[in-house]
Amino acid sequence: MKEIRPESLRTQVAHSTMLQVAERAGVSTMTVSRVLRNPSLVSAETRSRVQKAVEEVGYIPNALAGGLRLSSTSNLVAVILPSLDNSLYSRTIQGLSDALVGHGLNLMLGDNRYSSIVEERLVESFMEQRPAGFVLHETVHSAKTKRMLMLARVPVVEIGDLVARPIDAVVSYSNKLASHALTMHLIGRGYRRIGFVSVPIAGNRRAQQRREGYLQALKNSRITPIDKLILECEPGFASGARGLDLLMSKQVKADAIFFAGDVFGIGALLECQRRGWRVPGDIALASFDDYEISAQLTPHLTCLDIPRYRIGQEAARVLLTRSAAKDIGRERVNVGFSVLPNQTA
C-alpha cells in the first residue's frame, strides 16, 4: 500500500470540498449530498462513483468536519487505547489527566480493541464532539483515519511506539531498542537458550518490534535463535504459566525466558513457585514493563521500566504546545527506558 504522507495529505484534505467530489464523479453537489445523507435515494452506479470520488479527493462530510477549527473546539481530549482492561495504561491516563485538568481539559476514552477499523469508527464518532486534540496509543492507522485527523487541524499525539514519521507528534520509547536491551542483559548474564513469549504479533506493531529487538540482540551476539523457543500466547497470567510449561518441556529447554509483557512474567514466576523451581537457578525470567504488583513478589522480576506516567505528562505538554502554535512540524519525544536487573535473571 502506498504511504500517505502527512504533508501532502494536510494540503489535500484542507482544500477538499463537496464541489470537487461532484466534479470528479460527474454529478451535481445535490447528488453528492444525497449519497452522503440518504444513499437509498441514489442508484447503485451513482453511489459507487460518488464514494470513489470521496476517497480520491479525501473529502470528509461537513457533518463531521464542520466547526473543527482550533477556535471552536471543546474542552475534551480524545484518548484511544488498545484496551481499557489493561491496567498498564492507567499510569499514562493519570499523567495526561493531571497535566490537562489545570488547563480546563478533560479526557474521553475509547477502546479500539486492537483494530484499526474500530479506531476509525471511534475517531469519526469523537470528531462530532470537536475535541481539542487526540492521543492515540496505536501508531498504525487506516487511510480514512489519517484523513480525518489531518482535516481536524488539532494536535495528534501518538504514544505506542517511537515511530519515525508520526501523523503530527509522537511521545514514546522504542519497543525494539527496549527489547534489544533486555535481551542483551540476559546474554550478558551468560544465558544462551533464551525463549521469547509474546501476544500474537499479527497486526500488532509493538509486539512485532519487541520480537525484532530480541532477534537482533541474538544476531548481534552470534546466537542462532531456536524457533521452538519463540511462542505467541493470548494475554493473561495463565498464558505466562502455559508459556513457561511449553518452553521447559521442549527437547532443547530454555535457560532463560523473555516475556514481552509483565503479566506473562508474573504468571510464569507464580507457576515456578508452585512447582518448586528455583528462579534463577532452574530458569531465569525477565519481562517487559514493571507492574506495581511485581514489586511485591519475591524474587522481584528482572524487567524493563517504562516511564508511563511521564509519557502521559509529556503527551499533554506537546498537545498544549501545539494547540497554541501553527505549522511547527513533526515532533518526536523519546522518553527512554531502563533495565531493572532485580533478582530473577
Q: Which percentage of the chain shows pLDDT scores above 70?
A: 91
* Residue 25 burial (CB count, 10 A): 22
Report the top-level CATH class of 67-173+309-333: alpha beta
* Residue 276 burial (CB count, 10 A): 7
Q: Which residues of 29-39 are buried (b: 16+ CB within 10 A; e: fewer)?
A: eebbbbbbeee
Confidence of residue 122 (pLDDT cuts 50, 70, 90): very high
Residue 313 φ then ψ, to 5° = -65, -45
pLDDT digits (tens, 9 = 90+) for 182-213: 999 999 999 999 999 999 998 899 999 999 99
pTM of the predicted model as reported, rounded to 2 decimal places: 0.81
Q: Do residues 344 and 287 touch, judged by C-beta distance below 8 A?
A: no
Distance CA 25, CA 51 (A): 9
Q: Do residues 35 and 50 touch, judged by C-beta distance below 8 A?
A: yes
Residue 148 φ then ψ, to 5° = -60, -40
pLDDT(154) > 60: yes
Specify the long-range contacts of residues 323-326, CB closer than 8 Å, at least 24 apart.
323/70, 323/132, 323/133, 323/154, 323/155
Q: What share of the chain is helix, strand, coil (3-state, %, to 5)?
A: 50, 15, 35
State the pLDDT at residue 85.
85
Report the top-level CATH class of 175-305: alpha beta
3-state SS, residue 109: strand
State the pLDDT at residue 160.
95
Distance CA 99, CA 93 (A): 10
Report the top-level CATH class of 17-59: mainly alpha
Q: Do residues 291 and 266 touch, judged by C-beta distance below 8 A?
A: yes
Mean pLDDT for all residues in the chain: 88
Same fold, 67-173+309-333 and 175-305: yes
pLDDT digits (tens, 9 = 90+) for 79-94: 999 988 888 899 999 9
Domain positions in the chain are: 17-59, 67-173+309-333, 175-305
User: What is the rounded end-to-end Cα distance, in angstroms, of the chain?
Assistant: 42
Q: Do residues 58 and 147 touch, judged by C-beta distance below 8 A?
A: yes
